[in-house]
């Protein structure tokens, strides 16, 4: 039987069975500046099977009336610690970095993902449907292999295990490698060379190592996927000179798929980055020289990179306040507003939306995520206003076509205590 569900206020649709037809909204597809007025989106078996203006609703489909709303792809947090860090300052709840591990590149973050993390519901209610989970460097410049996860309330959490390798360069890399940038680059070169040697002759690998070898066999095996191009290599580098060194790696290892993360001074070498075809994950609010390697920080950075032809994603990176995935739409909105500042270089609204949807999906090879298109996974967010405005809020979130609960521990506590009578208060309160 066909049902009609009306979205009102902050009420979300309950979980509904496929097929589903969402009608009447304006769809921002995540593809350029494309928008579809009076859009109908048909969802079946977790996928978008049709999208267009005023399409007929299939017989038997559940109809969701989203008139006056805006629909976007689900937001992908391009850098996060969701599922591996519950309370950052409490070591027992934080699996982001292995400070004393004998292993580095071999570490697989997906084994530590906690699907019951309280942070999932909070971020899901803000329109975050997938997240890239980043490891933190411990005692080695290589931090290990990160994962892509789903924030769905039910269903598998890990979308892709061992999705990328992470390496720390710049000032942090120099500290981890022994105190200088040359030491960090020597360590990186050695570990990649050892990985190449293992791939060329696995039987002879152990015989070629001395007892004090810097590269464990498991680490070298993990880096084989990087050298073969099966895994992107995320390289945290800020200074323009460090970024140029990253680009030089492509000449030495043609199959390498480097991705710059942080990259505050990337705008200084934007043309070089574009020619090398290297994507960048950065932030829209970097404008202060927090360190010596970030003296050229600029809020124009994403705009200059985009104009040069670089694939740009915005991540919830450290170094400024409020760096949580729930703020990603606001960061994207700031990137648009930067274009209105005299002398500013900003993003268009379509580019800004893509920086938190389509571009992260592209960077991590998630071909069926990040856009509203036929065949894509049905990660869909329905908003009560412009998603890049701070006053807008999701009213419904779908992941793989399933409507998600719009509640969290915070909302449960608020509902529990917002209407207490005087006699319900603890004894220390005056009555």
Enumerate domains of the chain plus CATH numbers. Answer: 4-73+378-408 (2.30.40.10), 75-363 (3.20.20.140)
Average pLDDT over residues 320-327: 74
Neighbours of 181 (CB within 10 A): 18
Position 371 pLDDT exceeds 60: yes
Task: Name the token pair of 243.
Answer: 């970024």
Q: Model pTM?
A: 0.91
Confidence of residue 88 (pLDDT cuts 50, 70, 90): confident
What pLDDT was estimated at residue 387? Answer: 97
What would the DSSP string read from start to end of 192-205? HHHHHHHHH-HHHH
Higher-scoring residue by pLDDT: 229, 85: 229
Do the beta carbons of residue 130 and residue 149 sit within 8 Å? Answer: yes
Contacts of residue 185, defined as CB under 8 A and 6 or more positions apart, other chains included, come to: 169, 245
Cβ contacts of 243 within 8 Å, gap of 6 or more: 237, 260, 263, 265, 266, 269, 272, 273
Higher pLDDT, 88 or 109: 109
Question: How confident is the model over 94-153, as pLDDT tens digits?
Answer: 777 777 788 889 999 999 999 999 999 999 999 999 999 999 888 899 999 999 999 999
Q: CA-CA-CA-CA torsion for 167, 170, 174, 177, nearest 10 degrees?
A: 10
Structure-block tokens of residue 296: 């050229």
Q: In this predicted model, what pLDDT tens digit does every residue of 220-270 receive, in sequence order?
A: 999 999 999 999 999 999 999 999 999 999 889 999 999 999 999 999 999
pLDDT at site 421: 77
Q: Which long-range contacts (CB under 8 A, 24 or more apart) does 347-350 make?
A: 347/302, 347/303, 347/306, 347/312, 348/33, 349/28, 349/33, 349/388, 350/28, 350/31, 350/32, 350/33, 350/34
């Amino acid at each position: 039987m066909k049902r009609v569900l009306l979205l009102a206020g902050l009420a979300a649709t309950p979980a509904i069975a496929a097929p589903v037809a969402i009608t009447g909204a304006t769809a921002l597809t995540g593809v350029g500046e494309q928008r579809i007025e009076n859009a109908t989106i048909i969802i079946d078996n977790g996928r978008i099977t049709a999208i267009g203006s005023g399409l007929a609703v299939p017989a038997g489909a559940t109809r969701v009336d989203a008139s006056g709303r805006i629909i976007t792809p689900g937001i992908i947090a391009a850098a996060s610690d969701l599922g591996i860090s519950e309370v950052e300052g409490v070591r027992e709840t934080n699996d982001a970095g292995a400070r004393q591990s004998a292993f580095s590149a071999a570490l697989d973050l997906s084994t530590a993902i906690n699907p019951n993390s309280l942070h999932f519901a909070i971020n899901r209610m803000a329109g975050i449907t997938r997240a890239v989970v980043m490891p933190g460097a411990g005692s080695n410049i290589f931090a290990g292999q990160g994962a892509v996860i789903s924030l769905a309330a039910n269903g598998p959490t890990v979308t892709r295990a061992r999705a990328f390798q992470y390496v720390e360069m710049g000032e942090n890399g120099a500290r981890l490698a022994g105190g200088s940038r040359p030491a960090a680059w020597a360590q990186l070169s050695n570990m990649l060379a050892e990985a190449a040697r293992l791939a060329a002759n696995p039987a002879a690998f152990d015989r070629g190592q001395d007892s004090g070898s810097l590269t464990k066999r498991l680490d070298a095996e993990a880096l084989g996927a990087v050298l073969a191009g099966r895994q992107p290599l995320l390289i945290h580098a800020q200074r323009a000179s460090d970024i140029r060194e990253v680009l030089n790696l492509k000449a030495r290892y043609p199959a390498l798929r480097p991705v710059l993360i942080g990259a505050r001074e990337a705008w200084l070498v934007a043309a070089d980055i574009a020619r090398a075809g290297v994507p960048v994950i950065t932030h829209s609010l970097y404008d202060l020289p927090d360190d010596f390697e970030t003296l050229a920080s600029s809020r124009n950075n994403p705009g200059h990179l985009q104009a040069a032809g670089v694939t740009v994603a915005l991540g919830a990176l450290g170094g400024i306040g409020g760096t949580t995935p729930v703020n990603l739409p606001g960061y994207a909105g700031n990137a648009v507003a930067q274009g209105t500042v005299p002398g500013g270089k900003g993003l268009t609204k379509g580019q800004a939306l893509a920086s938190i949807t389509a571009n992260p999906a592209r960077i991590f090879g998630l071909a069926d995520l990040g856009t509203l298109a036929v065949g894509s996974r049905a990660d869909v967010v329905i908003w009560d206003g412009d998603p890049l405005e701070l006053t807008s809020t999701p009213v419904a979130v779908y992941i793989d076509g399933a409507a998600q609960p719009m509640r969290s521990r915070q909302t449960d506590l608020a509902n529990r205590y917002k209407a207490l009578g005087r006699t319900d208060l603890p004894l220390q309160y005056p009555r």
